[in-house]
Amino acid sequence: MLSDLSNNEFLVLKAISEGLSDPQSIAEKRQMKIEAARAAADLLAEQGLIQVDKSVNETFSLTDEGAAYVREGLPERRLLLSLGGGMHMSEVKDPALKIGLGWLRKKGWAAIEGGMIKPLKDADKGEDELILEALSDGVSSNPKWDEKALAALKSRGLVTSSKSKEWRYIITEAGSLAITKLEPKRSGTKNAVLDMPALTAEMIKSGEWQDDVDGLYLGYRGSVYRPRPYDVSLPADRIFPGKRHPYQRLIDNMREIMLEMGFVEIKGPIVQTSFWNFDALFQPQDHPAREMQDTFYLNSQGDIPDYARIKEMHECGGSVGSTGWGGCWSPEVARQEVLRTHTTGVTIKYLAEHPRPPVKAFGIDRVYRREAIDSTHTPEFEQLEGIVMDESVSFCHLLGILKEFYGKMGFEEVRFRPGYFPYTEPSVEPEVYIDGLGWVELGGAGVFRKEVTAPFGIDHPVLAWGLGVSRVAMLRLGLKDLRLLYQSDIEWLRQTPVSIKL
């Protein structure tokens, strides 16, 4: 093991054997950085060649206010001297002396009764006054100083302190023996022995390797190098490389799949009018989903487009054979702004701006609902939404697209069961099979009702579906608590492998 000592370790050990005991003096003598001296000493200590004593020293100094009190006396001392036989509190006019009232009572130097300040006894110098005087005389620390008095002076802002670490090295018997054995070898013909740098092919091929009793050496370009052996069987520290958040990787994977399938990504504002979030999707203005327990309403109103056809569709069904919802549709309700409760509001606005086929678009974005936070619910979460509008597309096309999408997501078994959604008909709920869980519902899909598309001049079928991204993430990552996706749990992030199949 002694032959394994690096050059730095040998030099530091030799310096300690010569009486140097702190890293600063060792670094200066050996002309190395103090950090290198400390590191070498720590390695020597691990091998039992030296003993390391570490200590923290605290030194004290006067503040400007503390120095002034050394000259003038503490406020409580000056107040006590001015009391005589006693004094009414109202007679204490000097603000500097008023500061001493509390300390006068706390130290037991005086009592206050009926507004009168009466001295109780002659007061000898306290520990705090003695410490102030010592600091004024240039003393910065003393282990005999009263800790409570020091703490009081620091709390009053009269004294400040600073801490410094100190290292003291003491050579052990094993260290002295090591110097005895190593010094003749390190100080003889191999006085210029250096630690081996990064090996090169030229070094290996040079043939100038020398096998000595204390190890292997390489003579190369006028210098002598000594390689240090390593035990490759020892466990190494775990490395946690930087990587994308698992949830972000899943979202990026979904985005790549949609782009591969020929879809265009669309975006929209978080703040939407009720017109686009609800009314354009043929949701009645008295629908429960609009109530405060489901929606974040803002104290503002936004602009809405020409609403004549939407109003007609809601009140009487327009010209598509619907009966509508009846009642009186209010543009004021439609102007009310909300935090979007789904990304479908972005979708219908995009369709209104692109009413001619073909349209293949998708969006992955965050939505907001008034949900109580627990292991499966949060007030904000991500949705993936896709639409296809073209001539003669049908419900069968929708099922095929969904099966293709979920297959690319890694779900081998997909099935559909009838569902109900306010703005699609027919509607289905896709389900995938998960080992250990069985069939799990992963979103909703359907064909937009004519009550949704007709007011915007859309004459062709629109296939639409939505997917809760966080639900897929829980399944893929094996989570039981949805909140982990949004918390900075470093341990969980480290333990989640980069190569996990998402």
- Binding-site residues, in ranges, read 344, 383-385, 423, 425, 448
* Burial annotation 449-481 (CB, 10 A radius, 16+ → b, else e): bbbbbbbbebebbbbbbbbbbbbbbbbbbebee
Contact between residue 334 and residue 274 where contact means Cβ atoms under 8 Å apart: yes
Distance CA 387, CA 448 (A): 10
* Burial annotation 140-152 (CB, 10 A radius, 16+ → b, else e): eeeeebeeebbeb
Q: Which of 86, 10, 78 is nearest to 50 (CA)?
A: 10
DSSP-derived 3-state class of residue 133: helix
Q: Which of 222, 247, 181, 491 is nearest to 384 (CA)?
A: 247
What are 368's two structure tokens?
């907001």
* Burial annotation 47-76 (CB, 10 A radius, 16+ → b, else e): bebbeeeeeeeeebebeeebeebbeebbbb
Residue 187's contacts (CB-CB under 8 Å, 6 or more residues apart) are none
Distance CA 6, CA 431 (A): 64
Q: Which residues are annotated as a binding site for L-phenylalanine?
A: 344, 383-385, 423, 448
DSSP-derived 3-state class of residue 216: strand
Residue 119's contacts (CB-CB under 8 Å, 6 or more residues apart) are 80, 83, 85, 86, 109, 110
Contact between residue 465 and residue 444 where contact means Cβ atoms under 8 Å apart: yes
Q: Which residues are annotated as a binding site for Mg(2+)?
A: 425
